[in-house]
């Protein structure tokens, strides 16, 4: 089935991305805030969404507890409690419950967010492989260094289970993009020659934890990364919206792999409440494909993708360009793409 036909809402010009769902799940970094500050329009748009939908938050960030995340979001004016936040440590603990019994000793690589959830579930915690732990759970924290990674390696060489919160290679910070948990997991993987079981995006357990908590699978997930947020939503079987306020931008959208293509492409979260424009496709006598989104039109002839009309809304030009490339089945590196589509 083609990507655009998964839901009739994609091509219904009067529908918004929120139509047909009862739950809005939002990522945090790059969606709600970047560094210490809220992203423009995000808070107002999410508050408005909460007037008609249940709004909750999913985060791969394992450094903080759900309560501290909720407090952070409330500081921006969002009506959030800890129950509205699903964290990767919570998903990791749900995985661990199927692997080792409650009361087992767990070696933790990470911070308070992991320790809190493990102890809440009834596990004991250690930082040393010399204590002969029953499993290793690893998550990101800014203080994680060689010593913690080495302890994990020592313990894992005994063959015990290994659960990691997430595979994010990078995280957006106020000063730019920084290494994420995926880089730390890779360091341990290089030493022990095996991989952990992952709980967070793009894996399904964190989504399943949200569906169970909120009692519905009729959800829209909003994220800023194709390789974690959008891929995870696709794997979980729910529609997704990529918002261009975080990590991935126009170039990444145009080059997106099939399994990482969002249902909706948004410039910012105000567009959650706006009718999502229809994608119109025509094939000329010469075989060229023309794609129009509102006033923006692109043309793919052979391997050349050109701009016919830029339109009034720049986001529509990207939507049209993405549709043309995704429809073609061609790889981005084999195409001559007009710079105006991604500059």
Distance CA 207, CA 212 (A): 9
DSSP three-state, residue 29 = strand
Indicate the Cα dihedral angle 328, 331, 334, 340, nearest 10°. Answer: 80
Q: Which of 19, 27, 83, 131 is catalytic?
A: 27
Return the number of other C-beta atoms located less than 10 Å from residue 10's C-beta: 18
Distance CA 231, CA 167 (A): 12
Q: Is 268 a catalytic residue?
A: no
Residue identified by tokens 């934890």 is 209
Q: What share of the chain is helix, strand, coil (3-state, %, to 5)?
A: 35, 25, 40
DSSP three-state, residue 253 = helix
Of 188, 191, 208, 187, the closest CA to residue 199 belongs to 208
Q: DSSP code of 333?
A: G
Please check whether residue 340 is in contact with residue 323, taking contact to mean a CB–CB distance below 8 angstroms: no
Strand partners, 23: 54, 219
Strands 23-26, 240-243: pairing is unpaired
Q: Which of 29, 84, 224, 316 is catalytic?
A: 29
DSSP characters over 14-25: T--TTTT-SEEE
Please check whether residue 51 is in contact with residue 272, taking contact to mean a CB–CB distance below 8 angstroms: no
Q: Is 29 a catalytic residue?
A: yes
Residues 6+ apart with CB under 8 A from 41: 268, 269, 270
Active site residues: 27, 29
């Amino acid at each position: 089935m083609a990507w655009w036909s998964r839901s009739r809402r994609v091509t219904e010009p009067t529908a918004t991305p929120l139509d047909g769902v009862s739950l809005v799940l939002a990522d945090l970094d790059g969606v709600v805030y970047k560094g210490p500050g809220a992203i423009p329009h995000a808070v107002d748009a999410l508050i408005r969404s909460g007037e008609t939908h249940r709004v909750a938050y999913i985060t791969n960030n394992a450094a903080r507890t759900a309560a501290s995340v909720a407090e952070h979001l409330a500081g921006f004016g969002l009506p959030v409690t800890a129950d509205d936040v699903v964290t990767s440590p919570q998903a990791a603990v749900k995985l661990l419950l199927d692997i080792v019994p409650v009361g087992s000793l767990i070696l933790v690589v990470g911070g308070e967010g992991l320790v809190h959830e493990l102890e809440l579930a009834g596990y004991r915690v250690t930082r040393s492989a010399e204590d002969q732990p029953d499993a290793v759970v690893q998550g990101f924290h800014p203080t994680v260094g060689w010593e913690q990674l080495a302890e994990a390696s020592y313990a894992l060489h005994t063959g015990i289970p290994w659960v990691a919160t997430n595979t994010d290679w990078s995280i957006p910070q106020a000063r730019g993009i920084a290494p994420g948990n995926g880089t730390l997991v890779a360091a341990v993987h290089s030493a022990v020659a095996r991989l952990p079981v992952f709980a967070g995006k793009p894996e399904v357990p964190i989504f399943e934890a949200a569906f169970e908590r909120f009692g519905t699978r009729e959800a829209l997930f909003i994220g800023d990364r194709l390789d974690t947020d959008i891929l995870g939503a696709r794997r979980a079987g729910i529609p997704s919206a990529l918002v261009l306020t975080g990590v991935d931008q126009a170039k990444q959208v145009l080059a997106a792999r099939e399994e990482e293509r969002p249902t909706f492409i948004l410039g910012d979260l105000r567009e959650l409440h706006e009718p999502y424009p229809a994608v119109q496709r025509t094939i000329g006598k010469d075989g060229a494909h023309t794609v129009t989104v509102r006033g923006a039109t692109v043309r793919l002839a052979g391997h050349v993708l050109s701009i016919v009309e830029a339109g009034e809304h720049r986001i529509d030009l990207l939507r049209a360009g993405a549709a043309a490339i995704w429809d073609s089945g061609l790889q981005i590196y084999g195409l001559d793409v007009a710079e105006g589509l991604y500059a």
